Structure 1
Amino acid sequence: MISYEYPLNERIRTLLRLEDLYRKIAHFLRGQAPQDHHTALITLFEVLEVASRADLKVDLVQELERQRQILMGFRNNPEISEQALSGALYEIEQASASLLAMAGKIGQYLRENDWLMGIRSRASIPGGVCQFDLPSYHFWLNRDADHRRRDLEGWLAPMTPIREGLDIVLRLLRASGRGEQQIARCGTYQLTMGGRSAQMLRLQVANSEAVVPEISANKYAINIRFVMPETLARPRLAERDVAFELTFCSL
């Protein structure tokens, strides 16, 4: 199955983008080649750009606190594992404390590093980080892989609370819905919301279907078109019935 997620508000859109960027950093951080660590650093700059929203930290803290209050209501419920509940509450409380401990603007320590900001500025130019443009960066890329990795981990560490907070929020969001089997007749599916609220849609489509969903949604209706992947340059509707699973996710 292939999963597709469609955020229905800007806050969830930002969290999904950050999640994708953090995963990308983690992948390339494990590499050994200079190109791996170059990609990890450029992605860190992207995290800095996306996370610079002034209210991101506040949004995460407020959402974690809301979820903590909800979970507290399950105390002494015989159908809920007290151990699992305590573990979830502890995780939320630790993440909230780490976020609150972050001082100043997110990533300000990176912006104050002239060497890193020089690389960031040159990286926005096609081919701008060649060795003749940034010889000091070329020197860094040719250092021992473990040395580069330690530097990257040090630059990333102060923003770890953001990743931990969004991981919890998105995990709870994804677990909030129950998938329902649907059929897109002749490749098209429409649904009136009818007062139903959601923050994110999740679609699961079998690999064998070989179709790609194009989703548009607002508070009134959802429209999904399944197009043929081999015609993405000029999207063509898959003019056949397509089975998929649809989940409404909301915290």
Structure 2
Amino acid sequence: MIVYEYPFNERIRTLLRLEDLYEKFVFFLQQEHPYQHHIALSTIFEMLEVAGRADLKSDLLQELERQRQTLLGFRSNPNVQTERLDAVLSDLDRATAALVAAQGKTGQNIRDNEWLMSIRGRTIIPGGACEFDLPSYYAWQQRPPRQRFEDITGWFSPMAPLFDAIGLVLRLLRESGRSVGIVAQAGSYQQMLQGKSYQMLRLAIDESLGATPEISANKYMLWVRFTSQGTDLKAKPVESDVPFELTLCNF
């Protein structure tokens, strides 16, 4: 199954973008070639651009506290698994404490590092990080993989609490919905939402069907249209029925 996610608002869109960047960062950080570590470092610079909103940290703290208060209300419910509830509450407390302890603007340690900022300025230019442009950076890339790994990890570590909080918030959001099996008649599906507020849509489809969803939605209506790719990779409307699973998520 391939899972597609669609954010209903700009806040969730930003969190999903940061999560995507973080997953790529972790992957390339674990590699050993200088080119792969270059991508990991460039990804940190992209994170700074996306996480530049001054209110992102406060938004996350408010959401973590809101989730905590909501979950505390379930303690008296006999149908709730106490151990699982306590584990989630512990995760919330830990993420909140780490985020509160993170001083200053997100990534300020990187902005204060002139050497890193010189690399950031050159990476914006196509091919701008060549050895003759940044000889000191080229020299750093020749260091042992373990040392490069530790350097990049150290530069990223002040940002880690933010991404831990993002991961927890998105996990709770994804777990808030229930999957429903649906068949898109002739490759198209519409659903009236009647003004109900949702944060995110998740759509799972069998990979073997070769169908790709194009999603548009607002608080009134959801529309999914399936397309397929030919040998020229151009999108063509699917005219047959397409079964899929739909999950509407909301805190």
- Fold shared, TM-score > 0.5 on shorter chain: yes
CA distance in 2, matches of 1:223, 1:230: 23
CA distance in 1, matches of 2:120, 2:72: 44
Give, as a single letter, the amino acid of the residue that structure 2 aligns with 1:207: E
Give, as a single letter, the amino acid of the residue that structure 2 aligns with 1:166: I
CA distance in 2, matches of 1:223, 1:5: 14
What residue number does 2:114 align with?
114
> Which deviations, in whole Å up to 9, do the C-alpha atoms of 1:125-183 show, x marking residues without a partner?
11000101000000011100000000000011000111110111000000000011111
Q: How does 1:52-63 map to 2 (within 5 A)?
A: 52-63=52-63
What residue number does 1:25 align with?
25
CA distance in 2, matches of 1:187, 1:82: 43
Q: Which runs of 5+ in 1 are unaligned?
A: none
CA distance in 1, matches of 2:144, 2:231: 45
CA distance in 1, matches of 2:54, 2:81: 37
For the residue of structure 2 that corresponds to 1:228, the secondary structure is strand
> By how many angstroms is 1:233 displaced?
5.2
What residue number does 1:99 align with?
99
CA distance in 2, matches of 1:200, 1:85: 23
TM-score of the two chains, using structure 2 as the length reference? 0.97
Pair 195,10 (structure 1): closer, same or farther in 2 beyond 3 Å: same
What residue number does 2:218 align with?
218
What residue number does 2:162 align with?
162
Identity of aligned residues (%): 53
Are residue 188 (structure 1) and residue 201 (structure 2) matched?
no
CA distance in 2, matches of 1:218, 1:231: 33
Which is worse superposed, 165-174 or 181-190? 181-190
What residue number does 2:14 align with?
14
CA distance in 2, matches of 1:244, 1:41: 38
Give, as a single letter, the amino acid of the residue that structure 2 aligns with 1:11: R
> Which deviations, in whole Å up to 9, do the C-alpha atoms of 1:206-242 show, x marking residues without a partner?
0111011111111111111101122775421011111
Pair 192,81 (structure 1): closer, same or farther in 2 beyond 3 Å: closer
Over 4 Å off, 4+ runs: none
Give, as a single letter, the amino acid of the residue that structure 2 aligns with 1:102: A
What residue number does 1:249 align with?
249
Q: How does 1:103-182 map to 2 (within 5 A)?
A: 103-182=103-182
The alignment of Structure 1 onto Structure 2 pairs a total of residues equal to 251
CA distance in 1, matches of 2:25, 2:183: 37
Give, as a single letter, the amino acid of the residue that structure 1 aligns with 2:154: G
Which is worse superposed, 136-145 or 222-231? 222-231
Which is worse superposed, 207-216 or 223-232? 223-232
Which is worse superposed, 218-227 or 81-90? 81-90
8 A contact 1:76–1:82 mirrored in 2: no
